[in-house]
Each structure stands twice: as structure tokens, then as C-alpha cells.
Amino acid sequence: MPALEIGQQAPDFTLPGVMVADGRAEQRHFSLRDMRGAPVVLAFYPADNSPGCTAQLCSYQSELAGFESLGAQVWGISRQDTASHESFALRQGLTFPLLADEKGDVVEQYGASMFGIGVRRSIFLVDTDGVLRWKHVALVGVKFQSAARIQEQLRMLDAPGDAGAVRDDAAS
């Protein structure tokens, strides 16, 4: 499948997921199409409860108010099932949705798959019209894009004269 390019319509999907509020988990389906009108940060990660992924998602949780102040939703996506996501979210206090792409179809559509580990640590920023405006697909490792870096890209969506033309960051 060809790489997803900046400026393309982001592939729509619907996946089962878990969201925790007030210490209780709710399982439901999440559809990217339903998010039109709000930017969405798609954070693909290799595995629940792994040290790197825990650090990454907990850092996004600690900065969730910053994402929300920019009108953005954050969705974590990995290949674990909803039971794994529920346990992970409750244990770590994650309140943004964790989506279960057990077959890996969405991971593949977004070019976030990698032989051996399954999912590359990747961020895709989808604008209010469902268009991909920024992405970072890591090669390997536990380094991840900081919440501050992602929020910087979100702010650029509304920059005067920018017309939402954000770029593709080189993988690292």
C-alpha cells in the first residue's frame, strides 16, 4: 500500500475501543468520520503496558488539557484487544480513547506497521475536514513525539497564511 501523503484525505475507520471516566471503563466503537469538525491526533503505539508506550501515553494524558484547549481529540491505537486496553487505561489513569485494531487493518492503512513489532510508534494529525496535515512515523525504538511538539503542529493548523499546510516529519 502506498504511503499516506500529507494533504490526502485520512482513511476513515471504525474500531472498538475503551474510554475511562470517573474510574469506570466504557467500551464502544469510535469512527474517524464522526470527528469531522475537530482535529484528531492518532497515536499508534506497539503495546499496552510496555515501558515506552506507557511513558508515551501517560505523557499525553498529563498534557490532555492542552490538547483539549486546542479543540483536539487524542486516540491511542494498537493491536491489543479492548480487555487489554481497559486494564491498561485503568491502571495508568488514561482517559482518552484506546482503540483496538486487532487485525492490523488500520495500522496498515496508515503505514504504521512493521514486521516483527507489529506497530511503529507513529503520530498522524487529522484536521477538521478529515485531511492528514502532519505525520511522524518512527523507524524503531522508544523515542516518541512529545505532547508539546504535537500541540505545536495543532497550532499551525490555524496559523494565518498557512492554510493548514503542515509537513511530513522525517522518521527517527
As annotated, the active-site residues are 53
Nearest CA among 106, 91, 114, 94 for reference residue 29: 106
- Sole residue written with cell 480487555: 83
Contact 14, 47 (CB under 8 A): no
| Contacts (Cβ under 8 Å, ≥6 apart) of 70 | 39, 151, 154, 155
φ, ψ of residue 108 in degrees (nearest 5): -65, -45
Q: How many whole angstroms separate alpha carbon 155 and alpha carbon 164? A: 10
CA-CA-CA-CA torsion sign (91, 88, 50, 96): negative
Angle between helices 51-62 and 147-157 (to 10 degrees): 50
